[in-house]
Amino acid sequence: MSVMESTFVAAIDPVLAQSFRVSARCGCFMQAARSLNIKSTQLRKHLAQLEAHLQCSLFNHHDNGLALSREGLQLHAQLIALAHERDLPVLEQPLIRLAVAESILHDILGRDLVALLRRNASVRLDIITLDSELSLQAVSADVVVWLAGVDSPLPGPSFAVRDPQRLARLDYLPHIAKRYSRVASRPDSLDDLADFLLVQWQHDRQVDSFRPWNTLVEQRLAGVVQLHSYELMLEMIRCSACIGLLPGYMSHFDRGLIALPGLFDQPPQRQVWMAVNAQSQEEAQVQMIVELIRNTFEERREWFEN
């Protein structure tokens, strides 16, 4: 194939042409597959079909990646010219707004959201962290995951939603790093906490069910650290011999931390709720996020069983 006629190039299957153009732009099959939201094996199949149709090789493979062959360069130029000639618009992806309680995003959903983005580089996702009741009331989103009481999702988002769905019930217990607490010296009562540094996430001061813990912290005249960062609070517990109130699943998330049961008569409880904006509930991308969240909680069901 020495010369590619524009009419011949225009007749190429649009799916194969798009696979080639994205691969040429990215210079990496894996990245191109992510951008197209398909598997790399499917992308390679498309490119093989295109090369068989054109009866030539379109790429030269090197140790540090791939480059277009002479014929590939020619085809790429023809496709770009054809796109300009047709004035083809860029396919815009809908913007999906996901609002999540900060602790749930960090501990439970973060890893699966990263995996989603690794598979689909073309997604448009706005992730909003919720760190207070005020932020929940003020947010506008397509999908919301928040923490509230066990029996009621209120207070919830202020916009119209479908019936909120319960995802999990969480018990909260004081936690300490295993390396800083031998079994014989672990505190068994509230009085035993006098010898330990306590750490509190400022957001938890607003939670009514945490009142026994919050009262204990407020009565402290020394040995208290209060933080506005959830992640930093976890790091303080891991590395500074602090004791802090955390969800009961934390030993699954970080096996270096251990719960201290029995310090309170009943562990405080909260419920994880999810709701979908009534105006965007039927959109495919919104449903994709909803299914991801449901599957994540289902896969971690043992984290929440008591």
Q: Are residues 40 and 186 in the same domain?
A: no
pLDDT higher than 90, residue 139: yes
Q: pLDDT band at 1, cuts 50/70/90?
A: very low
In a domain? residue 290: yes
Structure confidence at residue 118 (pLDDT): 77
CA distance 31 to 20: 13
Other Cβ atoms closer than 10 A to 233: 24
Q: Are residues 247 and 274 in the same domain?
A: no
Q: Are residues 131 and 156 in the same domain?
A: yes
Structure confidence at residue 26 (pLDDT): 81
In a domain? residue 1: no
Q: Are residues 190 and 41 in the same domain?
A: no
CA distance 51 to 227: 59
Dihedral-angle region of residue 65 (phi above 0 means left; psi in -120 to 50 means alpha; beta otherwise): left
CA distance 286 to 302: 26
Which domain does 50 fall in, by range? Answer: 6-86
Q: Are residues 285 and 162 in the same domain?
A: yes
Alpha helices, DSSP H, located in the chain? 6-10, 14-26, 29-36, 40-54, 70-86, 102-104, 110-119, 133-138, 211-218, 230-239, 250-253, 284-299, 301-304
Q: Are residues 299 and 154 in the same domain?
A: yes
pLDDT tens digits, residue range 61-80? 766 667 888 888 888 888 77
Q: pLDDT band at 117, cuts 50/70/90?
A: confident
Structure confidence at residue 251 (pLDDT): 93
Among 19, 52, 86, the domain boundary falls at: 86
Strand 197-201, strand 224-227: pairing: parallel
Structure confidence at residue 92 (pLDDT): 66
Domain of 81, CATH number, reads 1.10.10.10
Cross-strand bridge partners of residue 145: 100, 274
Domain of 136, CATH number, reads 3.40.190.10
Q: Are residues 76 and 26 in the same domain?
A: yes
Q: Are residues 262 and 189 in the same domain?
A: yes
pLDDT tens digits, residue range 12-27? 888 888 888 888 888 7
Among 86, 106, 130, the domain boundary falls at: 86
Q: pLDDT band at 128, cuts 50/70/90?
A: very high
In a domain? residue 225: yes
Q: pLDDT band at 6, cuts 50/70/90?
A: low
**Number of domains within the chain:** 3
Tell me what the mean pLDDT of segment 26-43 comes to: 83
pLDDT tens digits, residue range 45-64? 998 998 888 888 888 876 66
Higher pLDDT, 225 or 2: 225
pLDDT tens digits, residue range 267-290? 999 999 999 999 998 898 999 999
In a domain? residue 60: yes
First and final C-alpha spacing in the chain: 68
Q: Are residues 65 and 110 in the same domain?
A: no
Q: Are residues 264 and 274 in the same domain?
A: no
CA distance 274 to 136: 12
Q: Are residues 151 and 176 in the same domain?
A: no
Structure confidence at residue 25 (pLDDT): 80
Residues near 190 by beta carbon (within 8 Å), at least 6 away in sequence: 216, 263, 264
Structure confidence at residue 2 (pLDDT): 42
Average predicted confidence (pLDDT) for the chain: 87
Structure confidence at residue 82 (pLDDT): 72
Structure confidence at residue 238 (pLDDT): 94
Tell me what the mean pLDDT of segment 34-41 comes to: 82
Structure confidence at residue 3 (pLDDT): 44
Taking only Cα atoms into account, the Rg of the chain, rounded to an integer number of angstroms, comes to: 27
**By percentage, how much of the chain surpasses pLDDT 90?**
51
pLDDT tens digits, residue range 241-265? 899 999 999 999 999 999 999 898 8
pLDDT higher than 60, residue 87: no
Alpha helices, DSSP H, located in 120-271? 133-138, 211-218, 230-239, 250-253
Q: Are residues 175 and 264 in the same domain?
A: yes
Helix count and strand count (H, E) for the chain: 13, 11
pLDDT higher than 70, residue 86: no
pLDDT tens digits, residue range 207-220? 999 999 999 999 99
Q: pLDDT band at 184, cuts 50/70/90?
A: low
